[in-house]
Amino acid sequence: MHPPLPGSGPTPLPTVPAPPPSQRRLVVELAIVLLLSLGASAIWSVLQFVDLNTRAAPIGEQQVALNPARSDRAWLDLLYQLTGIALDLVPVALVCWLLWRARRPHLGALGIDAARPVRDVLSGVALVLVIGVPGIALYFVGRQLGLTVDVVPSPLDAHWFTVPVLLLSALRAGLTEEVIVIGYVFERLKRLGWGSGRSGMWPIIIAAAVLRGVYHLYQGVPALFGNIAMGVLFGWLYARTGRLVPLIVAHTLIDVAVFVGYPWAYATFPQLFG
């Protein structure tokens, strides 16, 4: 049997580029991603806020645990914590998959690249100073006015792995909130035409900021408005620079201060949080 002559085989079919997704498909995709992540958190936060405000005790006299233990057995608590962090990052992986580009920068649609890492980190650190101090002040004002729930942190010396897990939790929060609420939501809403009117990017900025505020509502009304303000600032910076890494760095460092610095201060200066 003779080998086939060159060119005598089946002719390969021409590659036809996939059509861009329709607006309806983008809306459904956006709803699914949010309901798998921070949209679901917003729903639970509203329910928890209603729960706290319909009890006999005022919200200022109630407590919410921050990063509580999941088990009284250390090894199982560690597995619970690590599993929770990993599962919370699945929607981030989904967003990266949906917006992945074949050419570099692969995550350019999310505003993520490695073009200027040092500048991005320094910008994130500067943002911490702008946001962190007013955020702490807002919490104390809310506590004094009885409008903010008492956020009770877990002790740092509970286990040997407590601080490393809290650092991972801070990174998880920075990645989840900024990649989804800023990078992904901005890209999809722009595709849906939200940023093309006279008001420019402001409808997207406000929508993302309100979402950020709502999933923090369980802490009280001051947390709602404080996080909306943070979301407006982050959204404005992202719309202006198109860079997401400084926001991830800033958010992660702020949560490191909350998850690690706040428990230390809570234990060291209990009279401030009484």
What ranges do the domains of the chain cover?
25-272
Per the DSSP assignment, residues forming a β-bridge with 150 are: 63
Torsion angle of C-alpha atoms 265, 268, 269, 270, degrees rounded to 10:
100
What average pLDDT does the segment 196-218 reach?
Answer: 95
Rg (CA), the chain: 23
Pull the structure tokens for residue 203: 């409808």
**How far apart (Å, rounded) are the C-alpha atoms in residues 40 and 87?**
14
State the pLDDT at residue 238.
98
State the pLDDT at residue 32.
98
Select from 234, 238, 249, 253 the least CA-distant residue to 120: 249
Would you mind telling me the total number of residues written for the chain in this entry? 274
Select from 177, 150, 158 the least CA-distant residue to 81: 158
H helices, E strands: number in the chain: 11, 2
Per the DSSP assignment, residues forming a β-bridge with 148 are: 220
DSSP label at residue 115: S
Let me know: does 154 contact 67? Beta carbons within 8 Å.
Answer: yes
Per the DSSP assignment, residues forming a β-bridge with 66 are: 153
Q: How confident is the model at residue 2 (pLDDT cuts 50, 70, 90)?
A: low
pTM exceeds cut of 0.85: yes
> Within 13 Å of residue 264, how many CA atoms lie on the same side as its CB?
9
Pull the structure tokens for residue 49: 């806020």
Which residues have CB under 8 Å from 160's CB, separation 6+? none
State the pLDDT at residue 151.
86
State the pLDDT at residue 37.
97
Q: CB neighbours (10 Å) of residue 103?
A: 6
What average pLDDT does the segment 185-191 reach?
Answer: 97
Which residues have CB under 8 Å from 255's CB, separation 6+? 169, 170, 173, 174
**How far apart (Å, rounded) are the C-alpha atoms in residues 174 and 113?**
16
Residue range 224-245, pLDDT digits in tens: 999 999 999 999 999 999 999 9
State the pLDDT at residue 108.
95
Cα dihedral sign, 76-248-152-269: positive
User: Is the pLDDT at 73 greater than 60, yes or no?
Assistant: yes
Residue whose structure tokens are 């509970």: 158
CA distances from 274 to 32, 146, 149, 221, 237 (A): 41, 12, 12, 20, 37
